[in-house]
Amino acid sequence: MKNEKLKILVFNVNWLGDVLFSIIAIKLLKRIYPDAYISCIVPPSCRQIIEGHPAIDEVITYDDKGKQKSLLAKLKFARLLRIKKFDKVFLFHRSFTRALIVFVAGIPERIGYYTRKRFYLLTSAIKAPDANKIHRADYYMYLVKHYEHYQKDTVFEIDFFIPKEAKIFVNDMLQKEGIKGDDFIIVLNPGGNWLQKRWPRENFSVLASVLMRDYDAKIVLSGSQNDRVIGEEIANLSGFNLVNLCGRMDLKQLAALMQRANIVISGDSGPLHLALSVGARAIGIFGPTSVSVTGPYNVKTPNILQKDLDCVIPCYRQGCSDMRCMKAVTVDDVVEKVREIITENTR
């Protein structure tokens, strides 16, 4: 029976933006099985992305670079899953190791995309759609739809839940930095999980200068602890007093900051999609990645800047030296997009 009480496990992916995209598929599972108990496995760095989401009953962390790195630790993790007695698992991650873990855990139904290395560990190995021709959110949802023979049209939004404490924290932090409630705040997010997706820091510094001069904006830099040095360099190059909050907030607080901001400007990264998930007006600067694959999902007015060059997109050449696709987007391009958003908002 479709609506019987089930325990469903989702073994998710490792990347912030993709975990956000996967929420669509999890919401579909909740629609198909409204009474099911749904658990989701994510790395510790992504826990807050799904924590508190109404479609998810339990968050389990799996750290294959830390706590679960050794074979013994992986076996212990499989034993933990066995104790929980899940009825079925959806493997959004394509790894062999994760398929082996749920096999050892004895979960009766194991659904994932077919690969030559792991198909025999799955009870349903589904042929994947071309990952370069479908949006990542639809890629994860396809697995659920195909297995469940779900034919109805689905329109879901990616949502993120911000606790009240995170909003209070951000308001207090901004106040301490001299930013008042009616100030015009623009958040710049200069980081990215690989170098080729990052807009040059020199561009960010010039952009910050122009926005402060022309729009009297308060510029806040966001990012992880690893981005703190980049933030300091951008602030120093700009010649203005920027607020560098890189490494000073968790994901819930970062989402609260972006929701509080008037505009967020970022490359193709998890924080860009986090901003969009909380309804922020965001500008995405895209280069080697495809907007149709990892761009805004089900967003009414996506503000995307990407130049049409003679490169093949998406491009995963992480050894690319000139990064011309990112450099092709100029400071003037971004300023013009900011002007458009402000004009639209004042109508």
Contacts 24+ apart (CB under 8 A), 327-332: 327/200, 328/287, 329/199, 329/285, 329/286, 329/287, 329/305, 330/203, 331/203, 331/206, 331/207, 331/210
pLDDT at 298 over 60: yes
Q: Are residues 27 and 81 in the same domain?
A: yes
Name residues whose C-beta falls within 8 Å of residue 83's C-beta, 6 or more positions apart in sequence.
none
Instruction: Determine, yes or no, domain membership for 159.
Output: no
* Across 60-74, 183-197, 208-222, 261-275, least confident range: 183-197
Q: Are residues 212 and 67 in the same domain?
A: no
**What per-residue confidence (pLDDT) applies to 346?**
66
**What per-residue confidence (pLDDT) applies to 191?**
86
**Parent domain of 137:** 7-148
Distance CA 151, CA 153 (A): 7
pLDDT in tens, 136-191: 999 999 999 999 999 888 888 899 999 999 999 999 999 999 999 899 999 999 98
The CATH number of the domain where 137 resides is what? 3.40.50.2000
* Across 38-52, 72-86, 168-182, 190-204, least confident range: 190-204
Instruction: Determine, yes or no, domain membership for 120.
Output: yes
Q: Are residues 180 and 259 in the same domain?
A: yes
Rounded to the nearest 10 degrees, the angle between the axes of helix 71-84 and helix 96-104 is 50
Q: Are residues 129 and 274 in the same domain?
A: no
**What per-residue confidence (pLDDT) applies to 300?**
75
Q: Are residues 92 and 220 in the same domain?
A: no
Instruction: Determine, yes or no, domain membership for 268.
Output: yes
Phi and psi at 293, nearest 5°, equal -100, -50
Instruction: Determine, yes or no, domain membership for 237.
Output: yes
**What per-residue confidence (pLDDT) applies to 1?**
44
- Asked whether 254 and 274 are in contact (CB, 8 A), the reply is yes
**What per-residue confidence (pLDDT) applies to 324?**
85
Give me the mean pLDDT over the 73-92 stretch: 97
Tell me if the bond preceding 314 is cis, omega within 30° of 0.
yes
At residue 318 the predicted structure's pLDDT band, cuts being 50, 70 and 90, is: low
Instruction: Determine, yes or no, domain membership for 194.
Output: yes
Give me the mean pLDDT over the 291-306 stretch: 87
- Asked whether 196 and 288 are in contact (CB, 8 A), the reply is yes
Q: Are residues 129 and 263 in the same domain?
A: no
pLDDT at 88 over 90: yes
Instruction: Determine, yes or no, domain membership for 320.
Output: yes
Q: Are residues 316 and 189 in the same domain?
A: yes
Final residue belonging to a domain, choices 80, 114, 148: 148
Q: Are residues 51 and 171 in the same domain?
A: no
Q: Are residues 233 and 268 in the same domain?
A: yes
pLDDT in tens, 115-140: 999 999 999 999 999 998 999 999 99
- Asked whether 258 and 162 are in contact (CB, 8 A), the reply is no
Q: Are residues 124 and 172 in the same domain?
A: no
Q: Are residues 18 and 136 in the same domain?
A: yes
**What per-residue confidence (pLDDT) applies to 319?**
67
- Asked whether 323 and 287 are in contact (CB, 8 A), the reply is yes
Number of independent structural domains in the chain: 2
Residues facing residue 9 across a β-bridge: 39, 89
Final residue belonging to a domain, choices 121, 148, 175: 148
Q: Are residues 325 and 202 in the same domain?
A: yes
Average predicted confidence (pLDDT) for the chain: 92
Which amino acid, 272?
L
pLDDT in tens, 244-271: 999 999 999 999 999 999 999 999 999 9
